[in-house]
């Protein structure tokens, strides 16, 4: 999971407008990545400059606005990215965009997703364009950039044709934005549409963001990029085409559970309403005799509202989150333990002497929940009934979540839900069923591999995928 944004104009935008629009969108996507941030800026003449920083988006904004190397140029467009690592080592220098050059084009790419077979993709690049491809890459972003570049060379330096062919070689997910030195802005989503992507086109200006909410905040009318769709903008016209692989929409169900902002739409479905339904179904499936429903902020709040509505148990904010900690789930592994300890505080009058239903979106590693339940006990809660608005997380994800091995999962070492509950310190633990989760979203098909071990790439089993990816 990462956040990407882009802006391009056929009206020769000022530097400050291009940077401001691009990073304003990315600020609205900060929840999708907090390790590092990067931006690529293409001038009207076709030169591309990339700036990266190990910081949040606002810090990059201040630095780039004063960058004398690109400040005085007339800007065609920008692409930007905020990183959550799912492949390769942690480090700000691996932030996107990835810039490739050497041939007739310069190409900068940023993407959201994960390429499970990125080594195969890199081998393809080496075979098609060895003169423009290094001997080694660190992660899937670099492999993707070199593969697209090599395919473009193979297609007479036509990047649109390269993106049409790309899905033939990819096992994984990508929603991407790219700049070329033509100059041109390209936008593409894989044929399974696993990760979100949306855009707005008005008055010869293109805006792109991972989530619809980012565009909506800027008062832009938006449209989602369809699965397998490719957009190309050269400053005069926006052209829309499709990849050679037929679309088979299988969006990530975890976007509805946790990743996406509640004010976003994904595949035409309101994330807010999906989470509300999850809580409603959860209350029907796993009732509890309790005095209060307490959400785990922020991602468990809407499901808790649904649980309260369906059960009739009043809801109260018994847990306060430190907004400056960020999302623990997408933090680097060496930070998760300490951040889990300090992220939450308990409102004692809400829970003291009460039987409490604690509603959260998911349990993956169990790091945060264990510390939180201990705090609630010390805050005076007499009973703790934990209700989770997603099924047990039993398998790795290879499509954009930083869980590449089953050994990372809490359930990997436990034989049952009851054992998980005891290890966390609950009085009872229950999850929503996969069927009711699917009903909450309401789409014909979703990717739920993290819950079912059944992935959209039917030719490969979980064990095969696990061998293809490593940190």
Between β-strands 198-202 and 205-209, what pairing exists: parallel, antiparallel or unpaired? antiparallel
Based on the residue annotation, tell me whether 2 is a catalytic residue of this protein: yes
Q: How far is CA 89 from CA 68, 257, 362, in A?
A: 31, 26, 25
Distance between CA 197 and CA 6 in Å, rounded? Answer: 11
Between β-strands 319-321 and 75-83, what pairing exists: parallel, antiparallel or unpaired? unpaired
Distance between CA 382 and CA 355 in Å, rounded? Answer: 6
Contact between 187 and 234 (Cβ < 8 Å) = no
Contacts of 466 (CB under 8 A, 6+ apart): 396, 398, 404, 405, 406
Name the active-site residue from 2, 252, 397, 447. 2
- For the chain, the straight-line distance linking the first and the last C-alpha, in angstroms and rounded, comes to 15
Burial of 406 (0-12, 13-18, 19+ CB in 10 A): middle
Tokens of 60: 């990059």
CB atoms closer than 10 angstroms to residue 91: 15
CB atoms closer than 10 angstroms to residue 380: 15
Chain centroid to Cα 105, Å, comes to 29
Distance between CA 74 and CA 163 in Å, rounded? Answer: 27
Contact between 152 and 162 (Cβ < 8 Å) = yes
Contact between 363 and 410 (Cβ < 8 Å) = yes
Contact between 30 and 58 (Cβ < 8 Å) = no
Contact between 21 and 7 (Cβ < 8 Å) = yes
Distance between CA 185 and CA 79 in Å, rounded? Answer: 9
Q: How far is CA 255 from CA 401, 425, 429, 448, in A?
A: 10, 28, 23, 11
Contact between 432 and 278 (Cβ < 8 Å) = yes
Active-site residues, by number, are 2
């Amino acid at each position: 999971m990462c956040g990407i944004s882009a802006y391009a104009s056929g009206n020769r935008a000022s530097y400050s407008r291009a940077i401001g629009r691009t990073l304003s969108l990315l600020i609205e996507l900060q929840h999708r990545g907090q390790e590092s941030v990067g931006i690529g800026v293409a001038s009207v003449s076709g030169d591309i400059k990339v700036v990266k920083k190990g910081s949040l988006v606002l810090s990059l904004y201040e630095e780039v606005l004063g960058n004398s190397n690109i400040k005085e140029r007339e800007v065609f467009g920008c692409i930007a990215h905020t990183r959550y690592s799912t492949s390769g080592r942690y480090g700000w220098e691996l932030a996107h965009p990835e810039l490739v050059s050497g041939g007739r084009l310069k190409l900068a790419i940023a993407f959201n997703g994960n390429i499970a077979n990125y080594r195969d993709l890199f081998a393809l690049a080496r075979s098609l364009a060895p003169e423009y491809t290094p001997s080694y890459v660190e992660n899937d972003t670099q492999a993707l950039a070199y593969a697209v570049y090599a395919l473009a060379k193979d297609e007479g330096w036509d990047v649109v044709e390269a993106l049409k062919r790309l899905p033939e070689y990819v096992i994984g997910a990508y929603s991407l934005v790219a700049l070329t030195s033509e100059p041109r802005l390209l936008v593409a989503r894989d044929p399974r549409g696993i990760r979100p992507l949306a855009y707005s086109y008005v008055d010869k200006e293109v805006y792109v963001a991972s989530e619809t909410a980012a565009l909506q905040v800027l008062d832009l009318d938006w449209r989602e990029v369809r699965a397998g769709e490719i957009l190309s903008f050269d400053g005069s016209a926006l052209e829309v085409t499709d990849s050679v692989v037929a679309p088979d929409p299988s969006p990530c169900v975890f976007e509805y559970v946790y990743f996406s902002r509640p004010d976003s739409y994904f595949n035409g479905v309101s994330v807010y309403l999906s989470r509300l339904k999850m809580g409603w179904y959860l209350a029907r499936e796993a009732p509890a005799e309790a005095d209060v429903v307490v959400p785990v902020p922020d991602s468990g709040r809407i499901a808790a509202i649904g649980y309260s509505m369906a059960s009739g148990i009043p809801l109260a904010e018994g847990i306060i989150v430190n907004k400056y900690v960020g999302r623990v789930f997408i933090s680097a592994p060496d930070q998760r333990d300490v951040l889990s300890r300090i992220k939450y505080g308990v409102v004692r009058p809400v829970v003291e002497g009460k039987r409490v239903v604690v509603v959260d979106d998911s349990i993956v590693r169990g790091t945060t929940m264990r510390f939180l339940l201990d705090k609630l006990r010390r805050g005076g809660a007499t009973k703790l009934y934990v209700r989770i608005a997603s099924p047990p997380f039993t398998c790795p994800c290879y499509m954009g979540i930083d869980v590449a091995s089953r050994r990372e999962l809490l359930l990997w070492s436990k034989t049952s839900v009851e054992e998980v509950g005891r290890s966390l310190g609950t009085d009872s633990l229950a999850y929503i069923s996969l069927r009711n989760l699917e009903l909450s979203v309401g789409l014909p098909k979703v990717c739920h591999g993290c819950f079912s071990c059944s992935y959209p790439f039917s030719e490969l089993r979980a064990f095969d995928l696990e061998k293809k990816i490593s940190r």
